[in-house]
Amino acid sequence: MIYKKEIIVFDLDGTLINSAPDLCFALNETLKEINIPVITLQEVMGYLGDGALELIKRGISKYEDVDNYDLEELRLRFLEIYDSCLLYETDFYENVLDSLEKLKQMNFTLAICSNKPELLTKRIIKGLNATDYFKTITGGDTFNYRKPDSRHLEKTILQSGKKIEQAIMIGDSENDILCANALNMPSIVVSFGYSKIPVKDLNATKIMSNYKNLINHIQEINNI
């Protein structure tokens, strides 16, 4: 079957995987070295989506002035710690693997467009035995721009050999949906991710509460 929308682009954290516990651990280990008190998991979930530097700044700013610290040094230290605990607790959300397998069997092209560094994104996907599902994986450092700059999403699609008008974006946050809307692209926002604002206010095409509904949502978009 030929689909109007034949490439599905996923965000990673909060969309395909629940990585918050490992990110929380790495953040607190980093901040402990500069005597910053513990940040809770719930708080960290509200800090995610804009890369390591913003995560660190948000953690510090709860207690101290960020200008008092060498943020680049802390970013590198955070990445070093996080690299050692990528898959302690991180895993796919319920029904993700089944959905990826069904989409592959239906001949959809799949890609990942994440603000996480590309190498870490690929290591996580490899560690979860899912590399073969994805034609293209890009991270926040793949290009000279990243989400919410829509060029990040656009370039990911083009690298996959597809056109913008053939794509659907699936994400959990404002960054993801802003990119899709800027490209006049249909989008699906998950209701269980790390969005800082209610997902109903993100202006996505569809809201998804469980991956068991993904195929239906894609088919509905293809029939519009």
Positions marked active-site: 11
CA distance 15 to 170: 7
Q: Phi and psi at residue 170, in whole multiples of 5°?
A: -120, 125
Name the burial class of residue 128, with classes exposed (0-12), middle (13-18) and buried (19+) by CB atoms within 10 angstroms of its CB.
Answer: middle
- Among residues 129, 180, 174, 125, the alpha carbon closest in space to that of 152 is found at 180
Structure tokens of 69? Answer: 């610290």
Polymer length of the chain:
224
- Among residues 6, 169, 183, 17, the alpha carbon closest in space to that of 96 is found at 17
Three-class SS state of 117: coil
Three-class SS state of 170: strand
Three-class SS state of 177: helix
